[in-house]
A and B are shown apart, each in its own frame.
Chain A
Amino acid sequence: MTTAIEHLINEWQSKKTLQENFVYCHTQARCVAKTTPFPADLDDRLAAVFVRQGIHSLFEHQSLVWDNVHAHRGVVITTPTASGKTLAYNLPVLQQLLESPHATALYLFPTKALSFDQLNNLTEIADKFRELHQFPPFVAASYDGDTPQSMRKTVRDNATVILTNPDMLHLGILPHHTGWERFFCQLSFVVIDEMHTYRGVFGSHFANVMRRLRRVSEFYGSAPKFILTSATIANPLEHARHLLNEDDIVLVNEDGAPHGEKYFFLYNPPVINKELGVRSPASVEGIHLAGDLLRYHIQSILFSRTRRGVEIILHQLKQRYPVALHEIRAYRSGYLAEERRKIEADLREGQTRVVVATSALELGIDIGNLDAAILVSYPGTISSTLQQAGRAGRSDKPACAILIASANPLDQFLVKHPTYLFGRTPEHVYIDPNNLLILINHLRSACFELPFKEGERFGDLDPDLLKALLSMFVQSGELVEKNGKFFWMRDAYPASDISLRSASGVIVTLQVAQGDRFVTVGEVDELSSYWMVHPGAVYLHEGQMYFVEEYDLEKKSVHLREFHDDYFTEAVKHSELSLVMQEKNRGSGALVLAYGEIDVTSQVIGYRRIRWETRELIDQQTIEMPSQNLRTPAVWFAIPELVANQLREADLWSNDANAYGPLWPAIRKLVKRRDEYRCRLCGVKENGQSFHVHHKIPFRRFANPEQANEMDNLITLCPACHREAEQNLRKKSSLSGLAYVLHGLSPLHLMCDGGDIEVNVDEDSALVDGETVIVFFEMVPGGVGLAQAFYESFEKILHDAYLLVSACECKDGCPACVGPAGENGIGGKVETLALLRLLGGDEGDGITE
């Protein structure tokens, strides 16, 4: 029997116009459930509750978790979305709470929405206990910023399962641990859900919060067991061990849950402008495909990266397919719980046929399973992609997921190299709990919580460094040392100086006008604020776009207003780099790759406005923000002279005639006359052979010929000098093209945001005596391990860069490869490709094919 999905897939495959857009299909075969009976030692009362819930046996991975927990090992579960991870950890925890009625458990979720969801889940279990005339073995309560003050003491004194987030643990619980004496004395389990979200800066903070949690638990004589869950990442075990500084953790990743056949398509929208490499916008294609799904009565979810995207898609879908109101709905963060429950119920009952959501929904919130998922553009990481695609999938029917590529380099790379998504190596997750800037305030908080004893360790922090830091605090009077103990000695609450989601702790608040007052909607750390929320910037917050109206440097506050235009902004920075210390280097083909620490003094001097859908440059504006200093790890390499010469010799001249405008002949004459018919470089006078008039700043960089053809931008050159000038420009564009593509691809290897790293072309560089250098550095002071990872996987990234650029269909550079033509000089694609080839990028074995 053919299902609706299979019918539709056939239809897609048979349409000529569509066929070529479905560039890849990954099929996952149907598989049956691998179940095991309830463990023999499972408490009968608990078993009865689950039977009540319709659960009569466990999936294999769930009983594997059970076994390992009972063997006193920590467990990381990485099975896919909707495979019953919650049950996997609830089971051993609830059993423990049944066995010892005073035992307690701490559940940590990265967001409040998630803990809310899981609280409901536990409440249902408690209800089932009551239905069976049994007393539930636990009192579950959430304890976070939303818990009313009047309720907090009751929760502290009575709850046996606390659901909270790392921020609250860090700020509200650990520094007041004496108020939680009962809870900590009996702490048996710590459940860490969605562990993969604890990466980069947030993850480095989180690891420190875990160090503090460990100290406090030890003080009360408890040694909780850890259960972690994670989306698919390349290094779940290593990451869990790093987060907890604990080796005895095992991985459970074999999914025992049943599922029907699953088709995962990669869809590349048709090119609608070959010259500029412009493709049809992903959202437009998404709406088309959603229409097909509607026609076939296939229940589906559309993911968009922004709330605005959600609204646009919703609006257009409704216009085009006039169905009942509840059949197409949006679902995003900010909705009230009641609304959400209603949509969930409608989805389960099949009333709602299409739901449009932001990526906020990809984390474990239960909306049931659907038949199809459409991802409008790459969500940024492979993990997220798999999570979102995992929303489609039934235990007994086929399902499909479609990723629609946008013009972003990563999107374009992925549709051409699908193995990245479906091979066995998704991203690595990196943290650096010993980043000094992050570490230092946690160390203060730890001292505030309990005096440090001499010889005591703090995670895997080098004992000598720990000692040095403690004695520095003694020196500064923050600690008093006596009899080998270090006591906090300040009228301060150090935890309040830390925001887990930023590195420096200096916070800029983001405010939106509501009536006549301003309401704080979020915060960014000061270091990032200059390029993220400078005046005129478009800032994306929880899927909503805002326009930055004002940045008050003194009050450290930013005024935003909601924004509904279809462009985003990119800060233009001027940076100066200087070397602090080179730590190591290694050869890589023709290159010498160096790793070390640098100082980056940078200033935001302007910003570009760019169209969302096409990535087309609208214009560039000038502003001036204060300059700032960043001490950070970096990787750099100079272009060897040999390579530079080879580039110069290879005649990469592509003689595109630009349309200089109708006035060009007249302007040319004026310039030559102004320069007295002499070459401004070598001084030779025009004689017979006609001299050239050269644009100092390339013509294509300007929005219109009038600006490009300003007299100040034009000089007279002899053909030889002109060739030299153009070649320098070309070298420049090959370097900036390389920097662009390295920056575009690195997040794929490092599981970070584009904003976490920067790749610069540094001319006359202080890093390698005055040479032109490409520098990769982290945007977090002290770094979180990304530069180190870049250093190690450089060849792979270089090779992928080559593959991306060489396979790109554009003519002379586009947003999807080396940057849009016109932005980095003249095109730059051919030049970048030549450079990549010379650097050995074509020989690599980086790709996982």
Chain B
Amino acid sequence: MESLSDKLKALGVKLGLDQTEPSGATIKTTQADITELLPEGKLIPTIHGETFWVEEVYSGTGNHGGFQVKQSTDFSSMLEMVGADAAFDLENCVFMDTETTGLAGGTGTLAFMVGLGFFRGEDFYLYQGFLRDPTEELAMLTYIAGLLEGKNTVVTYNGKSFDVPLMHTRCTLNGFEKLFAPMYHIDLLHLARKLWKYRLPSRTLGMVENEILGFHRSAEEVPGWMVPELYFEYQKTGDATVVLPVFYHNAMDILSLGVLLQVTASLLDNPASLDSPGVDTVSVARMAAEQGNIEKAVLLYEQGLQDDMPTEVYVETLLRFATIYKRDKLWHSACILWEKAAEKRSLCACEELAKYYEHTMKEYQVAIQWVNRGFKFSEEMKLGGYERTRMEKAWQHRLERLLDKWARQNKS
């Protein structure tokens, strides 16, 4: 008789990746237990069994990168920006990050480690729960529920689309109430995206840590993409040594969250406080504009534009700022901004000016001058084939119309 796996092979079924390894090869003689490897860890009894946790306290006066772990922070600008309620208090925040068996999502992804951070008094308290095997999940959730008592805000990095829904899936699967559902959620990724759009090539937590917090991880660090494989190996071999770096990885994530919340809040409060005052200030101005706080936006735009910044950011800012005036038909102020942008060869600015002189002022000759400038810029920009034809067509069309109008105006 053929064996089941031969039969499957004959049918063309591919089994798991490890199938080719001879069985036993990966089983080490020493199976280091997590409780031995992390003697500071505790097995905590709950009504649903034991759950393994590591606790650590970081002094508030210690440093994380270029910042102190606990700073005196004014949160009011940030709270206004994210629309949080007044009951916010740093002591009532929980900083949360999970380590999972994958990014696929759905019911089959396990959060085998849940890291939680709290500010208490002058210090930062870190709690890391770890599943020695999946059956301990209910016990872990039970303990988390206790830790969360009295907390009203959860702070994450990308938690809105990943960690929180995942935790809720885990809760539902265990017949547990959705732990974070009643809390206010601040997802720092959403703020980071807006704040550092211009400054950072990407907004991963690692990038923000390096570039904004000035923090660099030690050799203990493992990249996030390796994390699931390490846990699989631990599950397979029982050797907990492989997952130790994950504790460090997760701890640093949580600590960075704690510091980043304060740094972000301070920056929103005083955008010029860091090393790139111009770019940061106009970013906050933009956020204020999106928030509908026009007064603040105008103030910050004006302030930010006085500092140095890369030309693209400068031009984009001028154009954004101008839309505020344009909306209110404050043409004079808008024109000043457009003309500044046009000096930096902005095609859009030329277009805006051409439109303004054509439709509002009916000064066709001036409009034609702006169109011609636009033509010149577009030639210098060396656009690609399709884009170029499309643009030239539009400008050509505009020019013809203007010439026509001008001719008619002259006649009459």
Contact = CB atoms under 8 A, between A and B. Distances in A.
A490 B232 contact: yes
10 contacts: A178-B168, A179-B169, A448-B108, A449-B108, A477-B232, A489-B134, A490-B101, A490-B232, A491-B229, A492-B108
Contacts of B245: none
Nearest to B165: A179
B135 A482 contact: yes
Contacts of B102: 490-492
Contacts of B228: 491
B7 interface: yes
Contacts of A491: 101-104, 109, 228-229, 232
B134 A178 contact: no
Nearest to B7: A436
Given A477-B236, A489-B101, A782 B19 contact: no
Interface string B165-193: 00011001100000000000000000000
Interface in B134-177: 134-135, 168-169, 172-173
B15 interface: yes
B11 A781 contact: yes
A175 B173 CA distance: 12
Contacts of A823: none
Given A489-B232, A490-B232, A468 B4 contact: yes
| A-B complex: 9 closest residue pairs judged by Cβ atoms | A491-B102, A476-B16, A448-B108, A178-B172, A487-B134, A493-B104, A178-B169, A175-B106, A488-B108
A440 B108 contact: no
B23 A480 contact: no
Nearest to A781: B11
A440 B8 contact: yes
Most buried by B among A451, A487, A504: A487
Contacts of B229: 491
A470 to B, nearest CB: 11
Given A436-B8, A492-B108, 19 more contacts: A175-B107, A176-B106, A178-B107, A178-B172, A436-B11, A436-B13, A437-B13, A451-B134, A472-B5, A472-B15, A477-B16, A477-B18, A483-B135, A489-B134, A490-B102, A494-B108, A629-B10, A631-B7, A631-B12
Contacts of A312: none
Nearest to B16: A476
Contacts of B109: 491
Contacts of B16: 473, 476-478, 490
A685 interface: no
B17 A477 contact: yes
Contacts of B103: 491
A599 B7 CA distance: 11
A437 B134 contact: no
B398 to A, nearest CB: 28
B273 interface: no
B355 to A, nearest CB: 32
A629 B228 CA distance: 35
Nearest to B235: A480
B106 A482 contact: no
B319 interface: no
Interface string B93-106: 00000000111111
Q: Is the interface on chain A under 10, 10 to 19, 20 to 34, or 35 or more residues?
A: 35 or more
B108 A493 contact: yes
A344 interface: no
Nearest to A478: B16
A485 B135 contact: yes
Interface of A: 175-179, 181, 436-437, 440, 447-451, 465, 468-469, 472-473, 475-478, 480, 482-483, 485, 487-494, 504, 506, 527, 580-581, 599, 629, 631, 781-782
A440 B169 contact: no
A205 to B, nearest CB: 15
Contact of A472 (B4, B11, B168, B236): B4
Given A436-B7, A482-B135, A492 B104 contact: yes
Contacts of A469: 4
Interface in B48-106: 101-106
A383 to B, nearest CB: 30
A448 B110 CA distance: 10
B133 interface: yes
A489 B104 CA distance: 12
Contacts of B232: 477, 489-491
A506 B12 CA distance: 10
B78 to A, nearest CB: 27
Contacts of A175: 106-108
A177 B106 CA distance: 8
A581 B173 CA distance: 44
B169 to A, nearest CB: 4
Contact of A476 (B10, B18, B168): B18
A490 B16 CA distance: 9
A177 B172 CA distance: 10
B13 A440 contact: yes
A673 B18 CA distance: 68
Contacts of A179: 169
A472 B5 CA distance: 8
B107 A449 contact: yes
Nearest to B103: A491
A176 B107 contact: yes
Contact of A450 (B7, B17, B104, B173): B173
Contacts of A580: 2, 10
A601 to B, nearest CB: 12
Interface in B1-43: 2, 4-5, 7-8, 10-13, 15-19, 23
Nearest to B107: A449
A450 B109 CA distance: 11
Nearest to A451: B134
Contacts of B17: 476-477
Contacts of A448: 106-108
B234 to A, nearest CB: 10
B7 to A, nearest CB: 7
B13 A480 contact: no
A469 B8 CA distance: 10
A437 B103 CA distance: 26
Interface in B318-349: none
Contacts of B169: 178-179
Contacts of B18: 476-477
B26 to A, nearest CB: 9
A465 B7 CA distance: 12
A33 B375 CA distance: 78
Contacts of B5: 472
B15 A476 contact: yes
A812 to B, nearest CB: 42
Contacts of A782: 11
A440 B108 CA distance: 16
A781 B104 contact: no
Nearest to B132: A482
A628 to B, nearest CB: 9
A764 B174 CA distance: 61
